[in-house]
Structure 1
Amino acid sequence: MNAAAIRQLVISALAGKTDAEDRVYSPRDLSTTEDIYPAILVQTPFDLKNSLGRNAPQFNTVTTVRITGRLQELDDIAEDNGAVKAEESLEQLREQIERAVINSYDLTRQIQQFLQIRSTIGINAAGEGHTAQLLMELDIEYYQGPEEFYPIEADPLQGIDVTIIEPDGTQQVGVTIDLPQ
């Protein structure tokens, strides 16, 4: 398990489970356009490893998954309510993201805990409509052991020769096992 695997599990958990439907992107740069809204971007910008001892490389690792949700709402003809609609849509998107990720069996069975979840909402009326952004960070803790850092590279086993040492006067016994290729 590593940050890239965590990111992929989060992407899988989100796909089709929010108002963004299948518009979940990673990796992707941060520029987006209104024709793909609502959209979700997933990144893993921080990774922190806390050692579990001096002898073997074992860590409780915390990967921060940054989820950025973007959408746009327009004012109704009779009302200046685009900002209200944008904030309500972002709150709904935040709820959907939390439920999709926290309830993901594939993710939760491979981690220790969701250490912390932080989110902020921002709305900008500088364009044609009200562009809104949700920034959510999930600190996900999991174990990394020696198997993550020392992959075993060995020559394939060809065969085994065993010799049994018997007391003097006893016939020498031996076994040879050839392994199929």
Structure 2
Amino acid sequence: MIQCIIVVLVVQFLMGCASHGLPEATRKTSVLVIPLEIANESSGSWINHFQLELVPVAREPVANGLNVPVPTESTDFILVTELAPGAYAIANLVSFLAPEWQIGRGGDRRVWNVNLPFDLYPGEATLFNHRLKIRQRSSGDGRISTQYYFDRLEGTEMNEFANQFESQVQNADSWQVNYQTE
């Protein structure tokens, strides 16, 4: 019995260590790949959590918007598989205090309007041309600051990111890769 439990725990652990995976490409599916660089350079836990608000921009929306949580663990990109093909924009980057840092009712919520458009095509993985960078730092007096912004990827950086995506994601080869150029 104990051996069975150990085997189950080891399998679950190894599944958690596996690389990102994508479903097989179809004409009804699309993927958005957002480059991410995240670093906690402070001695504590993350003060803020983040999410991206994605919204349709067509006159007749192809789908509802979507709130995408931004992981605070080390990862190279965010995969968004829940959107149908169509025209969208990253409307806002939202930061809010982690529950352990909130005082009183409600959380400190800040919204940064970014309005970065992108198109999703059937059966294609769209590599977004802006990297989201988030850093948390401690100052000498104990204060913690957080910086977050989008940095445009071009040329060699974009090619390196495409290679990284294809090497780290299972089933990436079944998707045609589309580079966002706007």
Q: TM range, normalised to the smaller chain?
A: under 0.3
More helix by share: 1
* Larger relative contact order (Cα-Cα within 8 Å, sequence gap ≥ 6): 2
Q: Report the TM-score, using the length of structure 1 for normalisation.
A: 0.25
Larger gyration radius, structure 1 or structure 2: 1
More strand by share: 2
Q: Report the TM-score, using the length of structure 2 for normalisation.
A: 0.25
